[in-house]
Amino acid sequence: MRYGYFDEQNKEYVIERPDVPVSWTNYLGVKDLCTVISHNAGGYSFFKSTEHHRVTRFRQNGVPLDRPGHYVYLRDDETGEYWSVSWQPVGKDFTKAKYTCRHGLSYSKFQCDYKDIETEQLIFIPLDDDVELWDVRIRNKGNKPRKLSVFSYIEFSFHHVEIDNQNLQMSLYASGTNYKDGIIEYDFFYEPWTYHFFASSFNPDSYDCVRDTFIGNYRTETNPVAVERGVCGNSSELGGNHCGALHTKLSLKPGEETRLVFMLGVCSRDEKGYSIKKKYSDPKNVDAAFGELSNYWDRKPSVLRCKPPNKGLNTMINTWTLYQAETCVVWSRFASFVEVGGRVGLGYRDTSQDVMAVPHTNPGKVRERIRELLHGQVSKGYGLHLFDPDVFKPQEDRLPGVKLPTVVPTPSADSIIHGMEDVCSDDALWIVGSVCEYVMETGDLGFFHEVIPFADKGEASVYEHLKRSLDFTAEQTAKNGICLGLRADWNDCLNLGGGQSAMVSFMHYWALRYLIEAAEFLGYENDVQEYSRMAEAVRESVERELWDGEWYARGVTRAGIKIGVKANDEGKIFLESNSWAGLSGAASPERARKAMDAVHKYLASPYGVHLNWPTYTEPNDDIGYVTRVYRGIKENGSIFSHPNPWAVIAECKLGRGKLAMKLYDALLPYNQNDMIEIRQSEPYSYCQFVMGKDHTAYGRARHPWLTGSGGWSYTAATKYILGIRPSYEGLVVDPCVPSDWNGFEVDRQWRGASYHIVVSNPDHVEKGVKSTRVNGKPVDSLVPILPAGSENRVEVIMGK
């Protein structure tokens, strides 16, 4: 069953049936102001931080779904009938009113066609103003003149989400509203930097700032009394619950269209409210701002645009997966309908991985994130598992310190430094890959020498930070040479403590290879020697200690029991260790191949690869929390999306293009567009997990958007299937594709030059390059770094 389709031309996902099983969301804003919005215009806005600076309120996990939202109501002033531009909140019979939601790149468009009135509400946040704009067009397509009323509605939130939800004696009496000159101001008398405002391009006929006056007692957003009556109550008050409701009456002749703009801004009326109202009351400025946003999103895919013969890969890589990967870098993990403000900051491992995917489309943000992460590294070498980079910023960059009667402790930089008991064994290893990928993409070699402080004491060059991370891991190793599990590794629920993690040993090898390559290029001969010895020792240990005959073990518990081996009754085989065996390059090709064969045999499914099999049914604290997770959910045998692309990369390294594509296709949300009765979640975003075969809801996807699967899938497809990856000295073109592909094309901008890459596959191989020509001249293997501004043609012929 399908609810919508991919509009390739407009790069939109179009939802035609609004009653999708769960909220299908989108992200507006690419800098500081963000709105997470559903296909029904439900959702919330925040400024920089979901926890500390909420703008609009959201009743998470509520009934009905997604309330409140950023709504426009229409009322026929002759009949009194009313509806909303998005299907909800009024929820007209959608067989009689036609509703469409178009989620685009950083905008959403709601369209409604009802009784000859066509309405459109385009919502977006301009690149350079902290304001959300609603560009509303209303057209009378009938042959009678019409008299209508239009109302906006948003519900303001107290800025601190925890207080908003839990301490109403503060939130209800320390915020208020007032109305002047057509602008509603959400007033924070005691905290002047937290003002919000709501304005429109017209002079309102009536308004409400008090939520309960607009909605009415014992009513909901479905039937606000003000809309029913046709006029607001002109309410405002100091204290209470507040909203932004502006009302205008209009008449439309047959065929006539009108355009209204609504603005939700961060700051006071005087500071920016008046100027923003003036600026965006002129539709030309709205068009210009939307044009700039469109250019922003046109530029990104133009850095890497591919034309593969696989339609899903094409649509997802050129648009949606890139968009998802970028969204994770900008908003990290804590702004969605699942995480609604309880946590903020960066997950060390999460953001380190996210940035690896997009150094080509967002080098500035990637560099900023890497700097923040390196500052969150302790001088011993480990990363702070979850931290807010703002605590390291100079005090004057942080919020001013008026003392609230309700004490919300201000974290000090010292207080966030955790000890060994909370160290995850994988956290700081990822950053080695992040830094090297960033430098290989940009050529910014100076970055290795930039000096960045540690979280606790001292400072060091970026390069030295990376060495600390590798040395720390080397120290945290058991006698047999396998890395300790510590609090957890990538799998938060495997708590092996003093036991050992196979995955981290493979990762250690992977990160060491990155550093050795950098050291070779930088001419640091001693490091090349030292870290090559370390890598060789890791390789020998994993081969000696972890091979189980058909696949690699996942680890060893504190009590010395191997997990992820045949001898276990539950958790016999895991995806992470077996994909990382091949991905890291540590395993022999023969074992890596066998390990992946076992992955296909025991873990693969039509919806992607399961994380482990069989699922755990008995709590066992020697293994960890995973044994207390329901079967088939999250870390206990779901199809956890994030590691799936690791398996794709492992297959590409083995040269098995058909199998790589099979795994890629299985997880690809695009391919599940017509089975939403099973998937439920949006088909344009990877979800954190899909319920596994041991769960009654096998195939149901949950937790969209903010997951490492976006970035890793992008990397797997572009760098390994299409095989185009930057290195220090040139561009590698080494595809691994199904043998029935005749070839493909990629346009790549790299270090200022354009490369039009044409790959052909006349012998129908899965991997191997017979010849590479650049501008007609043969090259050995690497495509050289060509002068900035040059346009180049690269012809690659695959073959044996």
| Selected binder of ligand GLC within 310, 688, 713, 772 (CB under 6 A) | 688
CA-wise closest residue to 705 among 15, 11, 38: 38
Which of 82, 74, 71 lies closest to 250, judged by CA?
74
Of 396, 443, 357, 212, nearest in space to 712 by CA: 357
Q: Mask of contacts with ligand GLC, 707-736, x by CB under 6 A?
A: x-----------------------------
What residues form DSSP beta bridges with 732? 725
Residue 473 near residue 429, CB atoms below 8 Å: yes
Among 92, 146, 333, 767, binds ligand GLC (CB under 6 A): 333
Total residues at interface with ligand GLC (CB under 6 A): 11
If DSSP codes are grouped into helix, strand and coil, which group holds residue 141? coil
Residues with a known catalytic role = 492
Residue 339 binds to ligand GLC (criterion: CB under 6 A): no
CA-closest candidate to residue 418, choices 348, 334, 368, 317: 348
- Look at the block and give the residue holding tokens 């890969």: 313
* Contacting residue, 197, 463, 490, 720, with ligand GLC by CB under 6 A: 490
Nearer to ligand GLC, 27 or 179 (CB): 27
> Per CB under 6 A, does 492 bind ligand GLC?
yes
Which residue type, as a one-letter code, is found at position 338?
Answer: V
Please choose, out of 433-441, 491-499, 504-512, 755-763, the segment that lies near ligand GLC by the rule CB under 6 A: 491-499
CA nearest neighbour of 227 among 77, 395, 103, 345: 77
Binding to ligand GLC by CB under 6 A, coded x per residue (else -) over 526-565, reads: ----------------------------------------
Q: Which CB, 347 or 723, lies closer to ligand GLC?
A: 347
Name the minimum Å distance from CB 551 to ligand GLC: 20
Nearer Cβ to ligand GLC, position 39 or 333? 333
Q: Across the strands, what pairs with 245?
A: 208
- State which residue, 349 or 380, has the beta carbon closest to ligand GLC: 349
- From 242, 349, 360, 695, residue interacting with ligand GLC (rule: CB under 6 A): 349
Let me know: does 103 contact 26? Beta carbons within 8 Å.
yes
CB–CB of 657/664 below 8 Å?
no
Distance linking the first and last C-alpha atoms of the chain: 43
Alpha-carbon span 649 to 163, nearest angstrom: 45
Sheet holding 701-704, edge to edge: 639-640, 687-690, 701-704
Inter-residue contact 698 to 632 (CB < 8 Å): yes
Which residues from 621-640 bind ligand GLC, rule CB under 6 A? 635
Asked if 610 is part of the footprint of ligand GLC (rule: CB under 6 A), the reply reads: no
Nearer to ligand GLC, 626 or 796 (CB): 626
CB nearer to ligand GLC: pick between 385 and 767: 385
SS (H, E, C) 753-775: EEEEEEEECCCCCCECEEEEEEC
Shortest approach of ligand GLC to residue 648 CB, angstroms?
18
State in angstroms the smallest separation of the CB of 439 from ligand GLC.
25
- CB closer to ligand GLC out of 310 and 351: 351
Q: Which stretch binds ligand GLC (CB under 6 A): 35-43, 319-327, 390-398, 486-494?
A: 486-494
Using CB under 6 A, which residues numbered 652 to 671 contact ligand GLC?
A: none
Q: Alpha-carbon distance 165 to 59, whole Å?
A: 9
The structure tokens listed for 611 are 């994380």
Query: CB-wise, 56 or 688, nearer to ligand GLC?
Result: 688
Minimum Å gap between C-beta 353 and ligand GLC is 8
- Pick the stretch among 207-215, 344-352, 355-363, 530-538 that binds ligand GLC (CB under 6 A): 344-352
Which residue has its beta carbon closest to ligand GLC? 492
Stretches 118-126, 251-259, 485-493, 581-589: which one binds ligand GLC (CB under 6 A)? Answer: 485-493
- Contact indicator for 505, 543 with CB cutoff of 8 Å: no
130 binds ligand GLC (CB under 6 A): no
Tell me which of 351, 477, 491, 541 binds ligand GLC, using CB under 6 A: 491
Cα Rg of the chain (Å, integer)? 28
Q: Which residues contact 651 (CB under 8 A, 6 or more apart)?
A: 582, 596, 657, 659, 660, 663, 736
State phi, psi for 452 to the nearest 5 degrees: -130, 135
Nearer to ligand GLC, 635 or 651 (CB): 635
Distances (CA, A) of 604 to 613, 705, 723: 10, 23, 24
Q: Annotate each residue in 2-31 with x if it binds ligand GLC (CB under 6 A) or - if it does not, as one string.
A: ------------------------------
Do you find a cis peptide bond into 89, omega within 30 degrees of 0? yes
Span of 1-9, 101-109, 345-353, 512-520 interacting with ligand GLC by CB under 6 A: 345-353
Does residue 347 belong to the site contacting ligand GLC (CB under 6 A)? yes
Query: Exactly one of 51, 185, 187, 350 binds ligand GLC (CB under 6 A); which one?
Result: 350
User: 276 vs 483, which CB is nearer to ligand GLC?
Assistant: 483
Residue (of 689, 798, 682) closest to 744 by Cα position? 798
Helix (H) or strand (E) holding 251: strand 242-252
Query: Cβ 350 to ligand GLC, closest distance in Å?
Result: 5
Give contact residues for ligand GLC (rule: CB under 6 A).
333, 347, 349-350, 490-493, 635, 688, 707
